[in-house]
Structure 1
Amino acid sequence: MSTEIKVPVLPESVADASIATWHKQPGDACERDENLVDIETDKVVLEVVAPEDGVLEEIIKQEGDTVTAEEVIAKFKAGAAADTKKEASASSDSSNKKSDDKKQDTEKTTSSDKSSDDVLSPAVRRLVNEHNLDVSSISATGKGGRLTKEDVEKHIKSGKSSSKPATKDEPELSAGPREEKRVPMTRLRKRIAERLVDAQQTAAILTTFNDVNMKPVMDIRAKYKEQFQKTHDVKLGFMSFFVKATVEALKRYPAVNASIDGDDIVYHGFFDVGIAVSGPRGLVVPVIRDADQLSMAEIEKTIMEFGQKAQNNQLTVDDLTGGTFTVSNGGTFGSLMSTPIINPPQSGILGMHRTEMRPVVENGEIVARPMMYLAFSYDHRIIDGRESVGFLKTIKDYIEDPARILLEL
């Protein structure tokens, strides 16, 4: 008896979703809890797993289709996996008894079959076409010699050349400067675009700048990083210093930690700091809850976990919901200076940048110091210029004298 595979209940405020990738095709054997399909929302990627051992019978919704909560997307037959494996084993035994000449014919046929567009899944076909690959040169590990998405991705990462030779019917694409490629935007990218445009249209965004001497923090990090890692099993980075300094600055300037709701200003009595993280699907902002109550080691561990989740598309809606202020570190990509855009309904965002040696004047002498530009973008509807400059100057003071963070001065 067939079982319906449905879209899971979507997160609050998410109306619909898209079928991102089918990891199984009709006829494929599946084990219990094995991922069948990825469903993409404008916030997270949801995985739909096999309810038990069995076979995927039919795919109703194809990749790219828009779906809603609890909509049927496929049919699944339980208890058929064992039979499928037996048939595959019997077929393998039969093949082993054939002559070497027959093996060669079979290998040719398999190679031909795996390159057929009818056999390739949509995800595999898309990767092959995007990279102009010759599938006959890619090792297939799927059932019956079928090429899987993982096979193609592994082949691409290996850097092997397998461009599909040009034929009379299929001319070789020019590698000239006028080559172009059109790909659809992901739901997350669309959502990011909508929020950024909305922020610029509704908020009065201004940006103020300052620079900070990173030498004191760098000296502390160099002195204690090994002991810190041994004690807490996490590396000591710069982000925990900036998160701590940001929280202390937010305490001094409550308007920066507030938000506008209609005609009201909502002052938040907690400090949930969002950390901008770049993942395969785009920029996401997971939130460190109650950052004021966490130690530096706990902050570093939370940031590390967010980074790993972002790379594996495992961030949950809870990870991304809320936040009263955001810190973005463009310096990891080499940015010298930028004007970050606030993340509504928040009223401010801190932009960090790369650290480089620059000449500064200390005690009447020119010396070289590792300096970083800081940018603070804020909503001028709720934050005045005096508050914005004071807020950024407070962060600068804490970073240049980190002992004040520990002493809460």
Structure 2
Amino acid sequence: MAIEIKVPTVGESINEVTLLKWTKKDGEYVERDEVIAELESEKATFEVNAEKAGVLKTGAKEGDTLQIGDLLATIDDTAEKPAAAAKTEEAPKAAEKPAEAKPQQPAAPTAAPAADVKATPVASAIIADKKVNPSDIAASGSNGKILKGDVLAALSNPGKKTFGGAELFSRNVRNEKMTNLRKTISRRLVEAKNTTAMLTTFNEVDMTAIMDIRKKYKDAFKEAHGVGLGFMSFFAKACAVALAEWPSVNAYIDGDQLVYHDYADISIAVSTPRGLTVPVIRNVESLSMADIEKKVIELAGKARDSKLTADELTGGTFTITNGGVFGSLMSTPIINIPQSAILGMHKIQERPMAINGQVVIRPMMYIALSYDHRIIDGRESVSFLVRVKELLESPEQLLAAKDPVKLLLEL
């Protein structure tokens, strides 16, 4: 009997998906609950599992656009498991005792390119001998491996770098179908530009205090919580405090209503090979620094592996994006609708600053707040950004949301 596998429902407003890839081949025997395919909707990527064990018969091609409920594949659950697979399961799990390792003669030292460079042994030797920058070599081998001919071609054409291994003076043009995710990103960005009165205000933060804290406590923090102490937890907590003080920045417009949120669900922009995603960290105001760092790692990992659920991508009230990881010094981020504001972090750069009449070098970061002027006035936007700056430059205020001295003096 053939079991039909249909495209599942993945969201109320989603009508179609794209078949990214088959993880099992046509005619291959699959086990129950084994992943057979990956589908992409306009919001996320998700897996399809085999409902029963049997032989898979694919019904669509990779790259096809499918409607919800369309037939994706069938599984013949009456087919017998191949003898090779059955024997593999019956084989004892204990591995044979490895033979005693024989002492090896120390190999002669050989020069080699960086460990993350994929190249054949001959190509590696030439790269090391001629001191060629691997990034200037157009790799033509499988999986981006650099071959001997690629290195020789780079040496014969110094300073001339082609696109993806194409010939010199190539005029090649490629057409690729936009993915559902890229279509959604395109639509939402244009909608944000066309439907909001977007404006950006800037400030700069002296990161000395945060960098000193990280330097002093990073090892103890890692040992205590099993996660590194990054910058995002400081920014997320600072934004949560400032959002409570300036609620309009944490609100959005719904028709003729203003919707305010008495909590901070902060979206974190994550760049993936398939495009930009913004998973949400819920109730940041109620989380510890370690909780935030763990959630950032979890969501970033899911984003890179295309494992985010629709629930993890919806419902944010404010967004933080970090262009600094790519070297951006300043930018004007676009609002993540229906939200009304987004904070842009940037590269930390040492600059001369005037402190108490003296010129000193400090690690400075420009920060930017893009906001919807329909709901947020200049006073609120500037005051919010100044408050974030104060909290980051005096992180002890994150505990009581107030200057300790003013708290002591009851001011």
- Indicate the TM-score class for this superposition, using the shorter chain for normalisation: 0.7 to 0.9
Q: Measured at CA, do residues 341 and 157 of structure 1 come closer, stay the same or move farther in structure 2, by a change above 3 Å? A: same
| Aligned equivalent of 2:102 | none
Q: 1:328 aligns with which of 301, 313, 321?
A: 321
Residues 1:184 and 2:147 are matched in the alignment: no
**Native 8 Å contact 1:29 1:84 kept in 2:** no
| Aligned equivalent of 1:21 | 21
**Native 8 Å contact 2:46 2:308 kept in 1:** no
Residues 1:66 and 2:65 are matched in the alignment: yes
Unaligned runs of 5+ in 2: 89-140, 151-164, 403-411
**Native 8 Å contact 1:31 1:81 kept in 2:** no
| Aligned equivalent of 2:274 | 281
TM-score for the superposition, normalised by structure 2:
0.78
Secondary structure at the aligned position of 2:338 is classed as coil
Residues 1:404 and 2:397 are matched in the alignment: yes
**Native 8 Å contact 2:267 2:320 kept in 1:** yes
| Aligned equivalent of 1:380 | 373
Cα separation, 2, equivalents of 1:368 and 1:196: 38
Q: Measured at CA, do residues 322 and 81 of structure 1 come closer, stay the same or move farther in structure 2, by a change above 3 Å? A: farther
Secondary structure at the aligned position of 1:206 is classed as strand
Secondary structure at the aligned position of 1:82 is classed as coil
Q: Measured at CA, do residues 19 and 86 of structure 1 come closer, stay the same or move farther in structure 2, by a change above 3 Å? A: closer
How far did 1:51 drift? 2.0
Residues 1:156 and 2:148 are matched in the alignment: no
Q: Measured at CA, do residues 27 and 296 of structure 1 come closer, stay the same or move farther in structure 2, by a change above 3 Å? A: same
Correspondence 1:10-409 to 2 at 5 A: 10-57=10-57, 59-80=58-79, 82-83=81-82, 85=84, 155-156=142-143, 158-159=145-146, 174-176=167-169, 178-409=171-402
Cα separation, 1, equivalents of 2:329 and 2:189: 21
Cα separation, 2, equivalents of 1:203 and 1:21: 37
AA partner of residue 46 (structure 1)? F
Cα separation, 2, equivalents of 1:178 and 1:261: 49
Cα separation, 2, equivalents of 1:387 and 1:81: 68
TM-score for the superposition, normalised by structure 1:
0.78
How far did 1:25 drift? 2.7
Q: Measured at CA, do residues 49 and 324 of structure 1 come closer, stay the same or move farther in structure 2, by a change above 3 Å? A: same
Cα separation, 2, equivalents of 1:155 and 1:328: 35
How far did 1:26 drift? 2.2
Cα separation, 1, equivalents of 2:18 and 2:247: 40
**Native 8 Å contact 1:236 1:297 kept in 2:** yes
AA partner of residue 233 (structure 2)? S
Cα separation, 1, equivalents of 2:234 and 2:323: 16
**Native 8 Å contact 1:30 1:81 kept in 2:** no
Runs of 4+ more than 6 Å apart: 86-89
Cα separation, 2, equivalents of 1:22 and 1:42: 19
Q: Measured at CA, do residues 216 and 87 of structure 1 come closer, stay the same or move farther in structure 2, by a change above 3 Å? A: closer
**Native 8 Å contact 1:225 1:235 kept in 2:** yes
Q: Measured at CA, do residues 273 and 173 of structure 1 come closer, stay the same or move farther in structure 2, by a change above 3 Å? A: closer
Deviations 1:99-126, CA, capped at 9 Å, x for gaps: xxxxxxxxxxxxxxxxxxxxxxxxxxxx
Secondary structure at the aligned position of 1:199 is classed as helix
How far did 1:178 drift? 2.6
Q: Size of the alignment, in residue pairs?
A: 336
Q: Measured at CA, do residues 271 and 161 of structure 1 come closer, stay the same or move farther in structure 2, by a change above 3 Å? A: farther
Secondary structure at the aligned position of 2:43 is classed as coil
Q: Measured at CA, do residues 82 and 212 of structure 1 come closer, stay the same or move farther in structure 2, by a change above 3 Å? A: same
Q: Which moved more, 1:324-333 or 1:175-184?
A: 175-184
**Native 8 Å contact 2:266 2:320 kept in 1:** yes
Cα separation, 1, equivalents of 2:327 and 2:80: 51
Alignment RMSD, CA only?
A: 2.1
How far did 1:236 drift? 0.2
**Native 8 Å contact 2:29 2:82 kept in 1:** no
How far did 1:184 drift? 1.2
